[in-house]
Amino acid sequence: MRLKNIPGAGEYIEKSHYVIQNPEKIKSNWNNEFKNTNPIHIEIGMGRGDFIIKMAINHPEINYIGIEMYDSVIFKAVKKLEKLENAPVNLRIIRMDATEINSVFEKEISRIYLNFSDPWPKAKHAKRRLTSPQFLERYTSIFKGEQQIFQKTDNDSLFSYSIESFKEAGFRLENVTYDLYNNMIEENVQTEYESKFVEKGTKIKRLEAYKTNY
């Protein structure tokens, strides 16, 4: 994500009711935050929010939480939400580095979306990939019931790395495709990065990873 520093972005997003301050105080209580018992799906690295905002609009029966680590990126998402006539009530945003995810959630998430995550191509940065064994381990305790991780990417190396990483960690893979647009799923909500890659003709890779929590 090309980042332009936006002066005042931090202060601006702090005032948005979408952006949760001190999310660690809500740990184990996210359903109370939404005032319902609906499943909670999160997107890690939501960028400017195209995907998660559309998902929240399309699925009022699901609660969504977008995680992103940069103020100026969240600022753009908040601006988009403010322009909507019927902004979704089932959406929250958390500004944090996902390495801290265990301080914020415990046994309450039903699905993680990882869309066009940074590939971190150098081996010495492998543990920063959002599908590294270190991240998969962190995710384990945030799930309620079956673990579900849905991934889309343009990046071949990240995709093969992720497949290996999921298999090593005992996940079952379903609906794996190396060319999503020639194997279209029922509902594909485009992300901002996805629309750019599709325009360039890059093949989009997608998978669903499942693991039962014992």
Ligand X SMILES: C[S@@+](CC[C@H](N)C(=O)[O-])C[C@H]1O[C@@H](n2cnc3c(N)ncnc32)[C@H](O)[C@@H]1O
Return residues touching ligand X (CB under 6 A): 1, 44-47, 67-70, 73, 97-99, 115-118, 191-194
Q: Contact at 8 Å (CB) between 24 and 103?
A: yes
Write out the two tokens for 5.
Answer: 């520093």
Chain centre to alpha carbon of residue 154: 16
CB 175 within 8 A of CB 98: no
Give the pair of three-digit tokens for residue 97.
């580095």
Work out how close the CB of 198 gets to ligand X at its nearest, in angstroms, rounded to a whole number.
11
In the complex, minimum distance from the CB of residue 202 to ligand X, in angstroms, rounded to a whole number:
13
- Report the C-alpha gap between 87 and 64 in whole angstroms: 13
Between residues 63 and 155, which has the closer beta carbon with respect to ligand X?
A: 155
Cβ nearer to ligand X, comparing 40 with 73: 73
Amino acid at 118: D
The distance of closest approach from Cβ of residue 31 to ligand X in the complex, given in angstroms and rounded to an integer, is 23
Side-chain-facing half-sphere of 69: CA atoms under 13 Å: 10
Bridge partner list, 147: 211
Q: Count other C-beta atoms under 10 Å from residue 133's C-beta.
A: 15
**Residue 30: CA atoms inside 13 Å, Cβ hemisphere, count?**
30
**Beta carbon of residue 50, minimum distance to ligand X (angstroms, whole number):** 6
In the numeric block, which tokens belong to residue 130? 């959002």
Q: Is 118 a catalytic residue?
A: yes
**Strands 111-115, 91-95: parallel, antiparallel or unpaired by DSSP?**
unpaired
Shortest Å distance, C-beta 18 to ligand X: 16
From the list 71, 97, 118, 156, the catalytic residue is 118
| Residues labelled catalytic | 118
